[in-house]
Amino acid sequence: MSELANISVIIPVYCGAATIDRTLASVAAQTIMPREIIVVDDGSNDGTEEKVKAWSRRFGTSKLIVLKQNHRGPGAARNKALSQASSEYVAFLDADDEWLPSKLEKSLAVIQQTNSNIVSHNYIMVSSDKISCIDCSNSYKKNKNVFVGYFLRGYIATSTVVALKSILIAAGGFQTELPSGQDYELWLVALDLSEARFHIFDEPLTRYHVTANSISSKIALRQQCALDIAHQHAFRLHRHCRYPALVLALRTLIIHAQAALGFISQSQYGKLTHVCFSLPVKLFLAFGQASHTPVTRPNFLQMSHD
């Protein structure tokens, strides 16, 4: 019998009956198995819970834990699992994504080789009309300061992350009030901690599935949340760079450019015009809002219990 890895896999799911089998099958196919798989059913009403429980005998000696809560969103579901995880490390996987078989084994190897406590990697984006490899490691290498580089580009996909659980506990978990960007916000807080040691390696070990109803397709919502997060955490830039206002302005420009490209791809030219005309105002505000004053962040892990 092979030894289980000291990892808890965290899978939030809401009405995921159509995809959860694919996701769980990718965990069962890992070359090294985790100690436990924690699935949090976020108030599904489509038979998701029954589909998950049917996997209880298919993970060998790995323990399948199924938790249930009223519908509160993926952040609250991840927090619930994070609070109950018993392993030293946690790995995140969304219920419509899947891992390649060597994902956990290679992530743990990189943790040991680089002395990191948060690792991520490239991923394969799968949409209805194309498949592409997203090179997160290239974005990671562009800036000498990891925090500044991630603040600007937000290149971490949650289903690629393996992290020391204590780091995420210290960060306070996922901000549950945000309708978009909860993962980006938590990784910002975690990377700002003095004990954080982050590394991205260049193998694509996750298949990230984009659907028409996914949060990543809601361009205007994603844009506004990204701006809110940037301003909320701009004070952290003072610890990492000489010109925080300039970095905040550049982040603002990137957010607007991403929204503009999204609206172009959907032929929403009215919204594209609004983005273009609002950019000068947003840039002006950015130069005046990179304050030194810290913003108090609640402990969302404590707030996420039913």
Token pair recorded at residue 207: 């298949």
What is the pLDDT, as a whole number, of residue 293? 78
Nearby residues of 286 by Cβ (< 8 Å), 6 or more positions away: 231, 245, 248, 249, 251, 252
Residue range 258-277: mean pLDDT, rounded? 89
Q: What is the pLDDT of residues 81-98, one digit of tens each?
A: 999 999 999 999 999 999
Q: How confident is the model at residue 25 (pLDDT cuts 50, 70, 90)?
A: very high
Strand ranges inside 86-143, DSSP E: 89-92, 98-99, 118-126, 131-134
Residue type at 116 in one-letter notation: S
Q: Quick one: 170 exposed, middle or buried, by C-beta within 10 A (0-12, 13-18, 19+)?
A: middle
Query: Thinking of the domain 5-216, which architecture would CATH place it in?
Result: Alpha-Beta Complex (3.90)
Name the least confident of 50-54, 205-209, 271-275, 301-305: 301-305
Q: What is the pLDDT of residues 146-175, one digit of tens each?
A: 999 999 999 999 999 999 999 999 999 999
Residue 186 near residue 169, CB atoms below 8 Å: no
pLDDT at 281 over 90: no
116 secondary structure, DSSP code:
-
pLDDT at 53 over 70: yes
In this structure, the dihedral spanned by the alpha carbons of residues 131, 160, 172 and 53, taken in order and rounded to 10 degrees, is 90
| Residue 191 half-sphere exposure toward CB, CA atoms < 13 A | 27
Q: What is the pLDDT of residues 196-255, one digit of tens each?
A: 999 999 999 999 998 765 555 588 999 999 999 999 999 999 999 999 999 999 999 999
pLDDT at 290 over 80: no
What is the pLDDT, as a whole number, of residue 304? 56
Structural domain spans, the chain? 5-216, 217-288
Question: In terms of residues, how long is the chain?
Answer: 306
Q: pLDDT averaged over the chain?
A: 92
Question: Tokens 């659980």 map to which residue?
Answer: 165
pTM tops 0.85? yes
